[in-house]
């Protein structure tokens, strides 16, 4: 343990030190200088502090706000209602995917647009590729919904809704898994993707619908109608005589009439777009 001796300070030690080289100041001169400076109100200091904090916050957050995107709608959200049939995001996403390549090609060829982080959001003649893509997808889903509704009326499908399609897709894949496990022969893929099965179903359904419309004479195939079609489209057929080309002519004529029927129904379809969902669909 150490000890220390306390020595009383001399008057010289209590005196303030003089100005050495102009760097020191006496207490009296310091008080005089402080009194001479104007005092800043406390409220002004507080306001300045708040504004400084706000500026820092904005500098940090605003870039993130500009670069962030609103959350994508859930897959069950309704994009549009077409002739009373609700179209969920999950279904509409298939049409967006189908039209993506065509949209990119359109803007590249017409406007010279190049791929990049701002491709989908850069407007050309007042329209962005994202908006163009959504409109093309909406046109596609309207036409397909019209076909599905017509097929339902013709008794070809029990339910034209997308939930029924998903159920059938899962059932078909389960059937295929079971067949493969039992070493049975199956045609087509072992498992359908949602998109591939959708295309497969629609292709078969359109063929069945054309056949049904012909059998119910919604589309008539009289000999005179076929001959007139052959004369108007002679260059489209391999055979130069109507007799030799008759079946080929009939198929082409039925397809042409079918497209006309679907086109009329599509043009008159009642489409209600749910823009809160439609405009928020992510495209990239």
**Helix/strand/coil for 93:** helix
Tokens standing for 240?
């130069």
Q: 17-38: per-residue pLDDT in tens?
A: 444 444 444 444 444 444 444 4
For residues 283 and 273, what is the distance between their CA atoms, to the nearest angstrom? 17
For residues 106 and 122, what is the distance between their CA atoms, to the nearest angstrom? 14
- Asked if residue 143 has pLDDT above 80, the reply is yes
Share of the chain above pLDDT 90, in %: 72
Q: 161-174: per-residue pLDDT in tens?
A: 999 999 999 999 99
**Helix/strand/coil for 15:** coil
CA angle 136, 138, 142 (to 5 degrees): 120
User: Average pLDDT, stretch 261-270?
Assistant: 97
- Is pTM beyond 0.75? Reply is no
User: Average pLDDT, stretch 194-220?
Assistant: 95
């Amino acid at each position: 343990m150490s000890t220390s001796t306390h020595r009383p300070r001399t008057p010289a030690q209590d005196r303030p030190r003089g100005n050495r080289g102009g760097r020191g100041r006496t207490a009296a001169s310091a008080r005089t200088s402080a009194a001479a400076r104007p005092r800043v109100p406390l409220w002004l200091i507080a306001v300045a502090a708040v504004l400084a904090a706000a500026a820092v916050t904005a500098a940090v957050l605003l870039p993130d706000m500009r670069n962030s995107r609103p959350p994508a709608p859930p897959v069950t959200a309704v994009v549009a209602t077409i002739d009373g049939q609700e179209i969920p995001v999950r279904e509409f996403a298939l049409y967006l995917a189908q039209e993506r390549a065509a949209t990119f090609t359109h803007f590249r060829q017409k406007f010279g647009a190049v791929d990049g982080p701002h491709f989908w959001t850069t407007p050309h003649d007042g329209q962005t590729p994202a908006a163009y893509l959504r409109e093309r997808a909406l046109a596609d889903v309207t036409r397909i919904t019209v076909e599905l509704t017509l097929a339902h009326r013709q008794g070809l499908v029990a339910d034209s809704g997308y939930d029924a399609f998903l159920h059938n897709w899962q059932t078909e894949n389960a059937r295929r898994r079971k067949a493969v496990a039992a070493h049975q022969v199956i045609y087509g893929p072992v498992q359908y993707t949602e998109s591939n099965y959708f295309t497969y179903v629609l292709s078969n359904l359109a063929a069945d619908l054309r056949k049904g419309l012909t059998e119910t004479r919604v589309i008539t195939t009289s000999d005179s109608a076929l001959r007139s079609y052959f004369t108007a489209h002679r260059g489209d057929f391999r055979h130069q005589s109507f007799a030799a080309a008759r079946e080929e002519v009939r198929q082409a004529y039925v397809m042409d009439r079918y497209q006309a029927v679907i086109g009329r129904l599509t043009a008159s379809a009642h489409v209600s777009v749910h823009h809160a969902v439609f405009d928020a669909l992510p495209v990239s």
